[in-house]
Structure 1
Amino acid sequence: MDPLPESVWNAPEVRDAVAANSPSAVIAFARRAHGLRQDELGALAGFSQSAISRLESGSNLAYDMRVLRIVQRTLNIPPHLLGLAEQGVATAELRERGGADALVALMGGGLAVAKAASPEIVAELLVARRIINDADNFRVSMALKPAARDLYELTDLLRRSAQGELRRALLSVSAQYAEFLGWLHEETADWDGAEHWTARAMQQAQAAEDRDMVAYAYVRMSQLATGDHDRMIGLARAAQREPEISPALRVLALQQEARGLAQAREEADCLGRLDAALSLLARVQHVTTEEYRVGYWTDVEHLEAERASCLLDLGRATEAIALYDGMRTRWGHICPWYQGVHTAKLARAHATVGDLDAAEAVGLDAVSLARVTGSQHIVRELRGLAPWPALAPYASSA
C-alpha cells in the first residue's frame, strides 16, 4: 500500500491521538485516510473484521507490539506514531498493556480469511507462530493451546491443496506449530501429548526436508527424555547428524547433549560440548524478521545459563554461582520463564554450598517469576529446594 502524504500525519486528529497514547485512534484514522473499510483492512492484514473493530475500539489488541507492527506495515503508518521503534521494538508500556489473551483473540479468526495457499499466507502464518511463541514466553495462557491448534489445522488444510515448493513450505510451518503444541502440552505435564505432537513435528519436518526443523525435533525429544541421560545424549547426537543444519541449531544440539552428559556425570565430554557450542556462536546469524525462526533465541547468555546448569549437575556449585551472578545483569532480554528456571537453579546452588540466606533471597525471586509467568517449568525446578527445610516452602508455594 502506498504511503500517505507526510502532511496527512500532521493532522490535529493524529497529533491528539499520539498525545493521548491511543494507537487505536491512529490506526482508525489511517484506515479511513486510505479509504478502507474495516473488513478490507482485515483482509489485507490477515485479520477478521471483528478483530479490526476491537483493535480500533481501544481494546488490549491495540497495545501489543507485534499486532501493531503488522497493522503498521499494512497501512504504512510512521512507526513512532504507534509507539514503535524503527526496528520493530515497542515501548515497555505497550508490551505491558498487551498480553497473550489479546494476541489469541486477534489471531484466532484472522488467518481464517485465507482462501488459498500463497507465499503471503505462509509469511503471515510464520508471523502468527512468532506472536504466540512470544506470548507464551511472557505468560503461560491456556488460551494459547486451542489457538495454536486452530492455526495448525488451518496450515494443514492449506497444505493439502498446495503443490511443489509451497506445499513443502506449509509442511515446514505445520511442523513448527506441531512442535509448539508439544511444548504447550509439556508445560501442563501432559507428557503423552508432548511426545505425540513432537513426533508429528518430526514427521512433517522430514516430509518438508527442513533439516533445521528435523534437528530441532530431535532436540525437543531429547528435552522430553530428561532423567534418562542415555536417551538425552542419543537424541541430541541424532540432531547433530542431520546434514547442513544451521550453526544456531548445532549450538542447540550441542548444549542439549551437554545437559545429558552432565546428568551422566561425564564432565570432560560435557564441558567439551559446551566449548564447541561457544566456538560456533560467532557463526550464528539472526535475520531481523517478525516471522518465527527456529533457534532465533540462540546467544551467549542462553549458552552461559546452560553451562552454569551443567556445572551444578556436575557438582561444581561454586562455579555455577559465579557464572550465574556474572550473567544475571545481562539477561534482561531473555524470556521470564527461562530466567525463572535458572534463578531456581541458582537458589539450589547456594543451598548446596550451605549459603541458605542467599538461597532464600534468590528462591523468592524464582517464586515471584513463577507466579508472574505461570510457568510450571519454574515450579518443577523449585521442587529441587525441598531437601532443605528452610527452603521447603518455596518448593510448594509457587
Structure 2
Amino acid sequence: MDTPPKAGKPPRRSPRLVSWHWATPEAQAILATRNLSAILKYHRRVHGDSQTQTGELLGYDKTYVSALELGKRRLNDIGSLRHVAERLSLPAHVLGVTDAADADHRAMLQFGQSTVRLAEIARQSGHAAEAVSELWPLVARLEARARDGSTEREALRLLAQARLSLGTALGNVLPEERLATAAHWTAKSLDVVEVFDDPSLTSTALRMHGNELRKAGLTGAAVDRLTHAAAIAPALPERAAVLPLLARAAGAIGNGTLFDHAIREAQQLLDTVDHTSLVNPSALFEIRLRGLISTGRPRDAIRLAEAAAPTASVAVAPQWRVIELVTTGRVRLLAGDEAGAAELLGAAVHEAQAQRLPHQLQRVVRAAGDILPSVSEAAHEALTQLRSDIAA
C-alpha cells in the first residue's frame, strides 16, 4: 500500500460558487475516467496552480504530486483517496470511494428531481406554501454541499432547478413588500445555469427570474431578462412560454408597442405549440385586458371584456382564476359597473384568502380603492391574516 507523505494540515481552498470548475463538460469527461493523474493536471490548469501549490492544498510535497501526475505513484488506500477528493472538492465516488455520506448524497440527487417536480405540481394546484415547505430542505442541503466546494454537474443542475422552483413558489405566497426574496432565489439560479451552455435551461431561468422581477416591481429589469429569454429560446415552445410574461412586463412599464408585439406573437403561436397554463386563449385574454389598461387604453379593454371570454384549452392553476377575477373586476369598474365589479372582486378576495395569495389581495385593494370600500376592507382584513400566518 502506497501511503503518501503528509506535510501537516493543508490549507482549505475557499470555494467560489461562481466558478463551478468541475461542472463543465470538459471536466465531466475527465472525471469519468477516474484517472487521478488527469484529474490533478486539469485541476492545476483551471486554477493556474503549480505542483507546489497543489501539494500545499493536498498536504503533499511537490515531488509526490509530480509522481502522481506521471503515474509513478498510485493512491490505493481509501483514506488517502477520500482525503484527495475532499481537498479537490469532489464527491468521493469519483475516485472510487463509497461511504455513508456519499450514498446519502447520491440518494438526495436521485430523489431531488422528484421533489422539484412534485413541488411544481403542488404550486400549480394552488398549494404554493406546501411547495415551499418541500423545496426549502432540498435547497438548503444543496447549498451546503456547494459551500463545501462540491460542484459536480448533476448536483448543480438540480440546485439551479430547485432555486428556480423555490423562488417561483415564494412569488405566490409572499406579499408585495417581500417579493424581492422570490426574485433573489431565481437570480441565484442564473449563477449556475451559465456553466451548462444549455439555451433551453438558460431561457427558462431568465423567464422565471424575469417574471419574479416584474412582480417585485423591478419592471425595467424584468423586460430585459424576458427579452433575452425570448431571444435565446431554442424552439417555438420555449419562445411561446416567454411571450405572455414579456407582454405583462411591457404593459407594466407602459410600453404599448412592445406589449402589442408580444401579445400578437403569442396569439399567433397558439395554433402551433402545445397549450400550457400561460399559453392558452384564456390566459392571453386576461393578459391583454391588463395590458390594455396599463398602456392607457381602457376603452379597448372594456370592449374586449364585453366579448365572451374564451375558455381555457387546458387545465390552469387555481390562482389564475383569482388573477382573472381581479383583472375583470378592474375593467368593470372602468366601465362604471360598480355592482359587477364588487361581485368579481369579492369573489377574488374569498379565493385569494383560501389559496393564501397575498399579492392578489393587494391587487384587489388597489382596484377597489375608495370606490368599493367594503371590498377593500375585506381584502385588507384577509391580507392582515395572511401576513400574520407568514410571520408565524
Give TM-score scaled by structure 1 length: 0.58
Instruction: Give the superposed CA RMSD.
Output: 3.4
Q: Which of 262, 275, 281 lines up with 2:251 in the alignment?
A: 262
The percentage of aligned residue pairs carrying the same residue is 18
What does the per-residue CA deviation read over 1:110-164, in whole Å, with 9 as the maximum and x for residues that have no partner?
xx9964648x965x5333222212223334464543420222345568899999x
Is the alpha carbon distance of 1:381 and 1:213 closer, same or farther for their aligned partners in structure 2, counting shifts above 3 Å? farther
Question: Quick one: higher RCO (CA 8 Å, sep 6+), 1 or 2?
Answer: 2
Residue in structure 1 matching 2:181, options 181, 193, 197: 193
Partner secondary structure for residue 131 of structure 1? helix
- Summarize the Cα distance change of 1:249–1:354 in structure 2 as closer, same or farther, 3 Å threshold: same
Q: Give the alignment partner of residue 312 of structure 1, picking from 293, 299, 318.
A: 293
Match of 2:264 in 1: 275
Distance (whole Å) between structure 2 residues aligned to residue 149 and residue 326 of structure 1: 42
Aligned amino acid, residue 192 of structure 2: Q
Cα distance change of structure 1 residues 322 and 222 upon mapping to structure 2, 3 Å threshold: same
One-letter code of the match for 1:199?
A
Map 1:1-398; keep pairs closer than 5 Å: 115=104, 117=106, 122=110, 124-140=111-127, 142-154=129-141, 167-186=152-171, 187-189=173-175, 190-226=178-214, 227-242=217-232, 244-285=233-274, 298-320=279-301, 323=304, 326-327=308-309, 329-330=311-312, 333-390=315-372, 391-398=375-382
Return the offset for 1:214. Answer: 1.9
**Which SS does the other structure have where 1:245 is aligned?**
coil
5+ residue gaps, structure 1, are 1-111, 287-294
Cα 1:114–1:140 shift into 2, 3 Å: farther
Give, in whole Å, the separation in 1 of the partners of 2:353 and 2:288: 26
Measured in 1, the distance between the counterparts of 2:184 and 2:363 equals 24
Displacement of 1:249:
2.7
* Residues 307 and 356 of structure 1, relative CA distance in 2, 3 Å threshold: same
Runs of at least 5 residues in structure 2 that lack an aligned partner in the other structure: 1-100, 383-392
Q: What amino acid does structure 1 have at the position aligned with 2:363?
A: E
Are the counterparts in 1 of residues 267 and 284 from structure 2 also a CA contact under 8 Å?
yes
Q: Deviations over 1:31-73 (max 9, x none)?
A: xxxxxxxxxxxxxxxxxxxxxxxxxxxxxxxxxxxxxxxxxxx
AA partner of residue 174 (structure 2): T
1:205-251 Cα offsets, whole Å, 9 max, x none, are 22233323322332233333334443232221121232x53323312
**Displacement, 1:315?**
3.4
Flag the structure with larger Rg.
Answer: 2
- Distance in 2 (CA, whole Å) between partners of 1:346 and 1:253 is 23
8 Å Cα contact 1:137/1:335 also seen in 2: yes
Provide the C-alpha distance between the structure 2 equivalents of 1:360 and 1:140, rounded to a whole number of angstroms: 26
Native 8 Å contact 1:222 1:232 kept in 2: yes
Residue type at the aligned position of 1:147:
E
CA contact (8 A) 1:363 1:394 kept: no
Q: Structure 1 residues 343, 220: CA separation in 2 closer, same or farther (over 3 Å shift)?
A: same
How far does residue 357 in structure 1 lie from its aligned partner after superposition? Answer: 0.8
Q: Distance in 2 between matches of 1:314 and 1:135?
A: 34
Aligned length: 273
User: TM-score w.r.t. structure 2 length?
Assistant: 0.59
Q: CA deviation at 1:252?
A: 3.1
CA positional deviation for 1:267: 2.2
Give 1:360 deviation, angstroms: 0.8
SS in 1 for 2:269: helix
